[in-house]
Structure 1
Amino acid sequence: MQDILALAAANLLTPMILCFALGLAAALARSELSIPEAAAKTMSIYLLFAIGFKGGVAVNDHGLDGSLLLAILGGVALSFGLPFIAFALLKILTRLSATDAAAVAAHYGSISIVTFVTATSVLQSSGITSEGYIVAVAAAMEAPAIISALWLVSRSGRSEPMDADLWREILLNGSIVLLVGSFLIGLATGAKGMARIDAFIVAPFQGVLCLFLLDMGLVAGRGLKAARGVLSLGAVAFGILMPMIGAALGLTVGLALGLSTGGVALMMVLAASASYIAVPAAMRVALPEANPSIYLTLSLGVTFPFNLTLGIPTYVAVAQMLTGG
């Protein structure tokens, strides 16, 4: 246990995580520090393109094989299954309606791509390698949880068809399109494509991520301040407990697939994270009566800070201990 804590503490002291902590502290202290919205949007586009492209190049080098398909199947199974666990846990810990509980559960079956990108940078700075195709698993885990959540709502008596607008939100969400598209470009161009734009997507990556996480810390802190009284103690407890449950299941899947230390850690991160981009957009269409202040504050204001400050370092440490990496 002491070894895990020591490894987690070492992984905690990275520029990316400390920049997030700075933004969070500044917002809670009511500082006027801010990042222009256009700049934050540009940085998010850059990060999504870079991680998708590098993942595609890695798969090009690795080749399409059974290990990739099994990893995607494992990720999809997690994304389908986690909302059921989240829904049951919410029913125990909170008094949320079935609609609000299902909306929250959808966020915890899907993934936070920013948490994933941060984890890849933490691994890189620690010299830990991972399977490049995990980015394909991340893309595959965006949408299945939404379908599970809608099924949960239909069981409670509210049943509406999944129309074209909803499918468009699920499949053509900007972050999914950019991530999958850049992955396919990297897959098609391979090492030659990487050589052409290496200076653009490799060297600046961690610096851009630091500034982006500074902004995310500001957003999370302001969200927490604005949401006082909205969340019960049980809901906050869920926001911390659920990622640990997800990480444990991700660990199980990663070890069963025989992934590397970095791959196991990233599978834990994916299963532990909660969406705050793709799923909220879909919920606005699918469950407009669900309260956004509940599901957004939980995913962005509670689980996201927990994962960045304590979760990622712990997941990496556990993966290192159990895989010997």
Structure 2
Amino acid sequence: MDVIADIAATLIAQFQKPTLAFLMGGMLLAALGSKLEVPAPIYKFIVLLLLLKVGLGAGISVRSADAVSLAIPALCAVAVGVLIVVFGGKILSMWQGISRSDAMATAGLFGAVSASTLAAGMAMLDAEGIYYEGFIGALYPFMDVAALVTAIFLARMSEARADAVNIQGGTATLSSGDGFSGGGFSGGSGFDFGMAKGIITDTMKSPAISALLLGIGIGLLARPEAIYESFYEPLFRGLLSILMLIMGMEAWSRLSELKKVAHAYLIYALAAPILHGLLGFGFGMIAHHLTGFSAGGVVLLALMAASSSDISGPPTMRAALPEANPSAYIGASTGLGTPVAILSIPMFIALADWLIGF
């Protein structure tokens, strides 16, 4: 009972923090029909500054990080991103009325990472004085790219397999080879390295990943500590509060889009962030036992797994899977997945405190 009481107290205390308060405030304003709007250029500018801040901090920390201490969490991030897409896509495609492309696009967004959610988690840990590795931001691209590439490949493979099936007289036969002729897949391996390169290149060029990698590169190769501490660090929490307000309003407005699609998306969007976060937490525990990965690092890895991409993912999916329904995968991820992930931060903090201790 004492453990349950401690966890409940932690949850209540965290919900009183500015990060969650602004998120719920934005949802309340939208629910009440408020006409408050934040111009899109301001939103993009805030996201850019937050991504540069996270990237710079990660790059500065990577300079002094042990290779093994960084490599194992990075591999865990890749594994989590791939597993979320594989199992998420399979579960969604089992529901009647959900196409394979819609399932993979949705799973891809839920497997990718939300920069704003990660920033919110960092702010909450900082407010509590909880230590986490500075290189955490460098794990973002590993999970994000792994999830997006996996989702697009599985969707393309499914499409290629369907194209290779010739229905004659009520029987289905596969063309020669292993079932992946045409559709951009090469040879007998079913894997087109040219397409893989294109997907990775396009993902790296996306606004979120580009800004993050730029920050990491400058932090790693230059000496930006002065501007990081005098400009980016002081602005971080204030800008994050505005971003949470915007996301709260956006999340509420996106909920209406879920009415247009199968109820399976509603169930998935509510359950997936928690389940994915627990998967990430499990891999974080593996890294903790192997390398001494901090409890705060475990929380943030879990949060990256719980989050769903709201910046790099949607345009990537729109370009790579134009046949997928944006109302389904964006409505599920932004409308419900993002607020559920952010609201779950106190749960992961309490879990880490119980299993590892701060």
**Which of the five TM-score ranges fits, normalised by the shorter chain?**
over 0.9
Distance 1:84 1:100 in 2: 14
Distance 1:185 1:10, change over 3 A: same
Looking at both structures, which has the greater relative contact order when contacts are Cα pairs under 8 Å and sequence separation is at least 6? 1
- Residue identity over aligned pairs, in percent, reads 29
AA at the equivalent of 2:145:
A
Q: Which of 139, 142, 145 is equivalent to 1:140?
A: 142
1:300 aligns with 2:334: yes
Structure whose alpha-carbon radius of gyration is higher: 2
Distance 1:236 1:196 in 2: 43
Q: Which of 19, 34, 42 is equivalent to 1:31?
A: 34
1:42 aligns with 2:45: yes
AA at the equivalent of 1:267:
L
Q: CA deviation at 1:275?
A: 0.9
Question: What corresponds to 1:175 in structure 2?
Answer: 208
Kindly report which structure 2 residues correspond to 1:228-239, keeping only aligned pairs within 5 A, or say none: 228-239=258-269
1:122 aligns with 2:152: no
AA at the equivalent of 2:75:
L
Most deviating of 166-175 and 121-130: 166-175
Q: CA deviation at 1:52?
A: 0.9
Distance 2:97 2:316 in 1: 23
SS of 1:250's partner is helix
Q: CA deviation at 1:127?
A: 0.8
Question: What corresponds to 1:186 in structure 2?
Answer: 219
AA at the equivalent of 2:48:
I
Q: Which of 255, 265, 268 is equivalent to 2:302?
A: 268
Are the counterparts in 2 of residues 89 and 238 from structure 1 also a CA contact under 8 Å?
no
Q: CA deviation at 1:5?
A: 2.2
Kindly report which structure 2 residues correspond to 1:1-325, keeping only aligned pairs within 5 A, or say none: 1-60=4-63, 62-92=64-94, 95-158=97-160, 160-161=183-184, 162=195, 166-190=199-223, 193-225=224-256, 227-258=257-288, 259-309=293-343, 311-325=344-358
Distance 2:281 2:229 in 1: 32
The Cα offsets for residues 228-269 of structure 1, whole Å up to 9 and x where unpaired, read as 522333211111211122111111111111121110100100
Are the counterparts in 1 of residues 258 and 327 from structure 2 also a CA contact under 8 Å?
no
Would you say how many aligned residue pairs link Structure 1 and Structure 2?
Answer: 320
Q: CA deviation at 1:312?
A: 1.0
Distance 2:226 2:200 in 1: 37
Are the counterparts in 2 of residues 239 and 302 from structure 1 also a CA contact under 8 Å?
yes
Q: CA deviation at 1:164?
A: 7.0
Structure 2 regions of 5+ residues with no counterpart? 162-182, 185-194
AA at the equivalent of 1:132:
G
Distance 1:244 1:94, change over 3 A: farther
Are the counterparts in 2 of residues 93 and 235 from structure 1 also a CA contact under 8 Å?
no
The Cα offsets for residues 192-219 of structure 1, whole Å up to 9 and x where unpaired, read as x212441211112101110111111111
Q: CA deviation at 1:185?
A: 0.8
SS of 1:301's partner is helix
AA at the equivalent of 1:315:
F
SS of 1:142's partner is helix
The Cα offsets for residues 158-203 of structure 1, whole Å up to 9 and x where unpaired, read as 463338764442121111011011012112234xx21244121111
AA at the equivalent of 1:263:
G
Distance 2:231 2:46 in 1: 13
Are the counterparts in 2 of residues 83 and 148 from structure 1 also a CA contact under 8 Å?
yes
Give TM-score scaled by structure 1 length. Answer: 0.93
Are the counterparts in 2 of residues 11 and 126 from structure 1 also a CA contact under 8 Å?
no
The Cα offsets for residues 9-31 of structure 1, whole Å up to 9 and x where unpaired, read as 21221111111111111112110
AA at the equivalent of 2:39:
P
Structure 1 regions of 5+ residues with no counterpart? none
RMSD (CA atoms): 1.8
Q: CA deviation at 1:276?
A: 2.1
AA at the equivalent of 2:107:
A
Distance 1:319 1:231 in 2: 36
Distance 1:286 1:120, change over 3 A: same
Are the counterparts in 2 of residues 169 and 281 from structure 1 also a CA contact under 8 Å?
no
Distance 1:163 1:243, change over 3 A: closer
Distance 2:42 2:153 in 1: 38
AA at the equivalent of 2:266:
V
Structure 1 residue runs of 4+, over 6 Å off? Answer: none
Are the counterparts in 2 of residues 107 and 274 from structure 1 also a CA contact under 8 Å?
yes
